[in-house]
Structure 1
Amino acid sequence: MSDEAPPARAARTAAVIPAAGRGVRLGPGAPKALRALNGTPMLIHAVRAMAASRAVSLVVVVAPPEGAAEVKNLLDAHALPERTDYLVVPGGETRQESVRLGLDALPDGITAVLVHDAARPLVPVDTVDAVIEAVRDGAVAVVPALPLADTVKQVEPRPGGEKGEPEPVVATPDRATLRAVQTPQGFDRDTLVRAHTTVTGSVTDDASMVEQLGEPVVVVPGHEEAFKVTRPLDLLLAEAVLARRRANDGF
């Protein structure tokens, strides 16, 4: 009989990309995730960004409820790494519901989950790998984030959300203690499933759901190219980043 301990179960990581939103701030037209960036839908860039990590074995795309077949055809039409599997599932009415549906589709054996915004198509693979490594090192929830460059003011919003009206400042938080959060956010699978099972109400990201469980959330360095494309100006910036990558790296 060998005295050696049995090998630990290999950690397997999946990425869930909720892409069911319409992105009204980009104006009318196709859903935000299907808008073209350098001739390729943003969703494809986001999927490739997750699949660029050798640790990611599965990417689950949560499509608009009536557009799952269209998104499946889109993935089939673009070159994606062969080492990564892909799955498309219909989403829900909210981002939170869509992420839960993506989690429900994960097969057994997945131990870590990334949740990534389709609207962050240019996140570098080093950032993805840093999040995964932190989860594999024992963190149950990991978010990439950047320090704030601007001073932040806490204000008292006007009743009814009136635009253009002056709002009184109530505090100036110390920006040294603040971070701008990005994705992919990484999680121990069981912890994230528990969060989606027990936490109700409106949340801004999955990490905040884990916080409500009382579980620790840690931050790793984000990247300036992992910005969210929400406005027409962001599309221009994303095109510029891709042009620079092509020039420097042959991307």
Structure 2
Amino acid sequence: MMTIAASRMLRGKRTCFVGIGLPSLAANLARATWAPEIVLVYESGTIGSKPPRPPLSIGDGVLAETADAVVSSAEIFNYWLQPGRIDVGFLGAAQLDRYANINTTVIGDYRRPKVRLPGAGGAPEIAASCGETVIVVRHSTRVFVDRLDFTTSVGHGDGPGARDRLGLRGAGPTAVITDLGILEPDPESRELTLTSVHPGVEAERVLEATGWPLKIAVHLEATAAPTETELAALRRLTE
């Protein structure tokens, strides 16, 4: 449900900068269903990749083998990403706060961490410069925390106006897709608000899985159930 809901976010989009893992699976599902013409870009330098299976990493050979073009990482960032030529970025997170700021660096104190995570990679630039970003992550209090242990990628900073003050080009996170529902930033406060729950999920369950008092939209929606077409496409990608 999470992957399918995330893939629907790419309807009408032309270009997507893709992170590895759940974001990549969702982006490739979108290419197989809602957005067949979308150009998927990976930070290793592949443009227009069409992998038949989820890539294991940005260095997976299938990305280059199925790409329309392969360029240097420097060109990807300097020419395509930073000038604002990418419509949407798909990202994951180890920790996420109420303003959709992301931690993928460390858990615990930076100098003496409990866990050292994969790190930033291209995520800070994706979060800064894509037209918008969509975050795909499983919902738990371990991930949805009141305060990040480290800020790797800026979402909406400390609230209204933060991105403008920092000079960030893109609109920032427009949706967070989880296995329980969909959260979107409030237009005024920029704080994440629960706007939709997936089939079979109650709002109370989402509140219990969030590390701060999560706000709920006045008109809470129910996410549309997966269609047979979506399920068949997802199975082909993961079989």
Q: Which category describes the TM-score, using the shorter chain as reference length?
A: under 0.3
Q: Which has the higher helix share?
A: 1
Q: Which has the bigger relative contact order, CA under 8 A and spacing at least 6?
A: 1
Give the structure-2-normalised TM-score. Answer: 0.24
Which structure's CA Rg is the greater one?
Answer: 1
Give the structure-1-normalised TM-score. Answer: 0.23
